[in-house]
Amino acid sequence: MRYTPAQLREALDISEDTLRYWRELLPQLNGRRGYAPCFTPGDLLTLKVVAALRDLGMNIGMLKTHSKSFFDACSQRPWFELELHSLVFDGEFITMGRMDAGLDLPIKARVVVPLGPLIQQLRQRLAAEEVQTLQPEITFPLWGSRKEHRDESATASQQT
């Protein structure tokens, strides 16, 4: 499944300016322009992680050199497999590991982003958007039967 830029912005709750800035900053988004569906579920998850790191105060410019690793890590498996995983970033390397595996890593400062809550938020936002975009019911004026309508039309035309 592919998502349009508008669906991506809605799912991530970001502005058009933010998406434009991220497109300039993150090479993996270069060339994805226009209104056509061009974003994968992995792209949505990667950008949700980027948004979470931004909300923690991390400079998105710092992620530019690591963006390929972020996109690769979030695109390697379907969401249902990634829900129990965390993305671990130590400023140099990105590691993906299960939350219950203990993530055997050397002692070093790092940011751990559990993917389950982010995936849950994306699913909720996408489902809510889907409900909003359904075509509304079309209501027609109440006319009786077709025969009554024809009779009324004929009477009206005879009176003129």
pLDDT digits (tens, 9 = 90+) for 78-135: 999 999 999 988 888 888 877 555 555 566 777 889 999 999 999 999 988 766 555 5
Spatial CA neighbour of 77 closest among 49, 104, 40: 40
**No. of helices (H) and no. of strands (E), the chain:** 7, 3
What is the reported pLDDT for 60? Answer: 87
What's this model's pTM, rounded to 2 decimal places?
A: 0.74
Calculate mean pLDDT across residues 140-160: 59
Contact (CB, 8 A) for 23 and 29 = yes
Tens digit of pLDDT for each residue in 15-69? 999 999 999 899 898 877 777 788 999 999 999 999 999 998 888 888 888 889 9
